[in-house]
Structure 1
């Protein structure tokens, strides 16, 4: 059976693992005794990364930090190489890296497009590729997508558009990696109650997004972390899926 009995001593790589959902995941997996490789992007996040690392170690796990811009494929390779060097082969890989841009198509520059494409699309593809190369058999790969993939709206074309390929990468990888027992899934939250979301919105759009889900609220990171943990443990039979977790914000 490919199900993990527990996460104790499992090696978990989390891109964007210093803060927001990634930070909560780092702490959640540490509480289960996992060894957590916490990736963060830049010096501006270093303090939060160090605080998360302290919590990971205090919670019974083992942690290490890795800073890099993962839009450079070589850095994705280095991330997994460092995880293997530090802890041994990888068991779980979770990619939370992403960028939101709320902007009409008419105002979108080539640079806007390229930046969004690199962060949301390119990183996702090569994270999956490099994870499998360093992963134990029966491992788990999980990517953060967005519930806008089931939405009908304007102003988010580069965000939803650059996240859309994640669904195909998930399907293809899950089929290709099946002989090794590696499951590949994506989780698509609704708009999350983090700075990642608010920087793009107005009071009016925030109110609208809240109105579209249960209890007139945004998705909480505390609602998503248990689902990702489930996919790494009891949800082992789920494979090749994109799971919408958004309180009814969008549906298929």
Structure 2
């Protein structure tokens, strides 16, 4: 692939998304940092990429709004000439036992995690160039069945289903579709509302006896976005061996 590849990272202004954006830029891609509502953090991500010699810009879009997402892809094509990689990290996690969950919270999670994935994926598969890669974000919670994550796991189970079927719908286009499913990862989103005992217990759950860090997740994304052309239609559990 002679020309520079172009990546869109949704939710790219903070947490795992920002580290993914910086990693893909380090891999030599031009990067579009999508964000929902914090332009300062998005610009900081762009500045970090450009300071390291990369090329990036930030673009605000609600991932569940089809017009805003179409505008995100339009601006990427206009500025960088096309789209080769889409990494959809944007999502929210609201934790509660099923019996106690406010249905408004369930609807909010569904809108961002399920509809948002559908809207972003729809634009991605319409526009990705040959040799491209679409990488959704799932969760290891669907696999390890942690109490209180019922609603969140339900939204990410939908992501798994979309990913596996979409990979087959891309037949003949040389586009891979996979999902990364992180386990407990040291981000503000993960730490929010957890006491130290809960965090320590999660850190001991993996045979490697630590929490994941965003760089661990970004490494898997880099692999799927670049050299991994024979990994397709998979949900990759990036969790240090938690079962």
Give the TM-score normalised by structure 2: 0.95
Which residue number corresponds to residue 47 of structure 1? 40
Cα distance, 1:178 vs structure 2 = 2.1
Of stretches 142-151 and 65-74 in structure 1, the one that deviates more from structure 2 is 65-74
Match of 1:70 among 63, 70, 77: 63
**Rounded Cα–Cα distance in structure 2 between residues aligned with 1:169 and 1:200:** 30
Is there any run of 5+ residues in structure 2 with no aligned partner, and where?
Answer: none
**Rounded Cα–Cα distance in structure 2 between residues aligned with 1:210 and 1:54:** 32
**1:205 is the counterpart of 2:171:** no
**Rounded Cα–Cα distance in structure 1 between residues aligned with 2:91 and 2:219:** 20
Match of 2:26 among 11, 31, 39: 31
**1:60 is the counterpart of 2:14:** no
Cα distance, 1:186 vs structure 2 = 0.2
Which residue number corresponds to residue 246 of structure 1? 239
Cα distance, 1:164 vs structure 2 = 0.6
**Rounded Cα–Cα distance in structure 1 between residues aligned with 2:134 and 2:214:** 19
**Rounded Cα–Cα distance in structure 2 between residues aligned with 1:200 and 1:151:** 20
Is there any run of 5+ residues in structure 1 with no aligned partner, and where?
Answer: none
Cα distance, 1:61 vs structure 2 = 2.0
Residues 24-173 of structure 1 aligned to structure 2 (within 5 Å): 24-42=19-37, 45-173=38-166
Per-residue CA deviation, residues 45-102 of structure 1 (Å, 9 max, x unaligned), is: 2222111111212222211110122222222222111111111110000000111111
Cα distance, 1:200 vs structure 2 = 3.4
Of stretches 18-27 and 182-191 in structure 1, the one that deviates more from structure 2 is 18-27
**Rounded Cα–Cα distance in structure 2 between residues aligned with 1:104 and 1:186:** 26
Asked whether the 8 Å contact 2:15–2:214 carries over to 1, the reply is yes
**Rounded Cα–Cα distance in structure 2 between residues aligned with 1:203 and 1:73:** 40
Asked whether the 8 Å contact 2:177–2:233 carries over to 1, the reply is yes
RMSD, aligned CA: 1.4
Residues 10-21 of structure 1 aligned to structure 2 (within 5 Å): 10-21=5-16
Asked whether the 8 Å contact 1:147–1:246 carries over to 2, the reply is yes
Match of 2:172 among 173, 179, 182: 179
Q: Secondary structure at the match of 1:81?
A: helix
Cα distance, 1:184 vs structure 2 = 0.1
Q: Number of aligned residue pairs: give it.
A: 243
**Rounded Cα–Cα distance in structure 2 between residues aligned with 1:220 and 1:153:** 20
Give the TM-score normalised by structure 1: 0.92
